[in-house]
């Protein structure tokens, strides 16, 4: 229902744009160059929530202080193609964790492999000149960019209670809508944030993603680069039944600091 309302509102807004605005956008596109922004990063996310697998309920609790002890493997990165007015992006991460939990008189081992791939597009609807230039020779701005996209999640879970074990693999696709904000604090410092909401019972019941970053402009290998530090939260509530009739549920929030950089080509 919510997704249909958002989609209808977006179509109404697009159809209501005057022809002069469309012509102006076409003129702007003709003068803009495309660039590629590559952003590797490390997200040290703690996990907090509940998981149900083949009749076994487990509390997923991996605090930030223990994340590297439980982390087996991780790979993360983002690629964006933009001309400054609108753009497209792809974000991917693969994380493998393991933990042991004491339940009654036995211990449950839980291993989780998580793959999350997101792709989307955005359009700059507001651009306020703040005066002055950045160290990249570009005007300082405050910008607002609505975004839409899809996020695919795949979970591979293995629970071992000694006397029994279970394996489950599940994947789902969530549409999402959101907003991106960015402001230049000075010629070098930048503050950026993004938030989106998705799921709408199409994939998961509800998925919420939010992140904010403080950036510092510099050059690496003669390419404009922004060093970033920030914080990210991703909450997902997904539930389905497996072939045995048991419930598979993933109601987990990942949150923690992010460290990375964005290099423009």
pLDDT value for 97: 82
Number of domains in the chain: 1
Strand 139-160 vs strand 223-241: parallel, antiparallel, or unpaired? unpaired
In a domain, 12, yes or no: no
Q: Identify the sign of the CA torsion 25, 27, 30, 35.
A: negative
In a domain, 27, yes or no: no
DSSP 68: H
In a domain, 26, yes or no: no
In a domain, 17, yes or no: no
pLDDT value for 102: 55
pLDDT value for 16: 46
Q: How far is it, in rounded angstroms, from Cα 230 to Cα 78?
A: 15
As a whole number of Å, the end-to-end CA separation of the chain is: 41
Q: In terms of residue numbers, what domain contains 242?
A: 32-264
pLDDT value for 83: 97
Closest Cα partner for 152 from 133, 183, 176, 168? 176
pLDDT value for 12: 41
User: C-alpha distances in angstroms, 30 versus 23, 59, 81, 83, 125?
Assistant: 11, 54, 16, 10, 18
Closest Cα partner for 263 from 215, 213, 209? 215
pLDDT tens for each residue of 38-97: 999 999 988 899 888 766 677 777 777 777 777 777 899 999 999 999 999 999 999 988
Q: How far is it, in rounded angstroms, from Cα 10 to Cα 200?
A: 17
Strand partners, 170: 155
In a domain, 52, yes or no: yes
Strand 189-198 vs strand 56-62: parallel, antiparallel, or unpaired? unpaired
In a domain, 138, yes or no: yes
pLDDT value for 131: 97
In a domain, 49, yes or no: yes
Cβ contacts of 77 within 8 Å, gap of 6 or more: 38, 39, 40, 41, 91, 92, 93
pLDDT value for 10: 44
pLDDT value for 55: 64
Q: Supply the pTM of this predicted model.
A: 0.82
Label residue 181 left, alpha or beta by phi (over 0 means left) and psi (-120 to 50 means alpha): beta
Please say whether the beta carbons of 231 and 257 come within 8 A. Answer: yes
Strand partners, 146: 179
**Which residue numbers in the chain have pLDDT < 70?**
1-31, 54-56, 100-108, 161-165, 242-245
Can you give the CATH number for the domain in which 142 is found?
2.40.128.100
Please say whether the beta carbons of 258 and 230 come within 8 A. Answer: yes
Please count the other Cβ atoms lying within 10 Å of the Cβ belonging to residue 208.
Answer: 17
3-state secondary structure of 18: coil
Residue showing tokens 């460290």: 259
In a domain, 6, yes or no: no
Please say whether the beta carbons of 231 and 253 come within 8 A. Answer: no
């Amino acid at each position: 229902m919510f997704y249909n309302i958002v989609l209808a509102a977006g179509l109404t807004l697009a159809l209501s744009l005057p022809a002069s605005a469309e012509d102006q956008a076409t003129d702007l596109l003709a003068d803009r160059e495309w660039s590629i922004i590559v952003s590797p990063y490390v997200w040290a996310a703690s996990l907090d929530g509940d998981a149900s697998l083949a009749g076994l309920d487990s509390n997923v609790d991996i605090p930030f202080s223990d994340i590297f002890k439980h982390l087996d493997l991780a790979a993360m990165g983002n690629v964006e193609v933009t001309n400054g007015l609108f753009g497209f992006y792809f974000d991917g991460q693969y994380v493998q964790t393991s933990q042991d939990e004491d339940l009654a008189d036995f211990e449950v081992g839980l291993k989780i492999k998580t793959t999350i791939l997101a792709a989307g597009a955005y359009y700059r609807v507001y651009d306020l000149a703040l005066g002055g230039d950045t160290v990249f020779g570009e005007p300082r701005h405050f910008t607002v960019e609505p975004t839409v996209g899809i996020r695919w999640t795949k979970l591979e879970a293995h629970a071992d209670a000694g006397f029994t074990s279970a394996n489950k693999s599940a994947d789902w696709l969530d549409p999402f809508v959101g907003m991106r904000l960015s402001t230049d604090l000075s010629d070098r410092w930048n503050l950026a944030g993004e938030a989106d909401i998705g799921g709408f019972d199409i994939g998961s019941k509800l998925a919420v993603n939010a992140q904010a970053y403080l950036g510092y402009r510099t050059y690496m290998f003669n390419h404009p680069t922004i060093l970033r530090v920030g914080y990210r939260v991703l909450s997902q509530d997904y539930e389905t039944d497996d072939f045995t009739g048991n419930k598979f549920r993933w109601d987990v929030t990942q949150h923690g600091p992010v460290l990375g950089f964005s290099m423009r080509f």
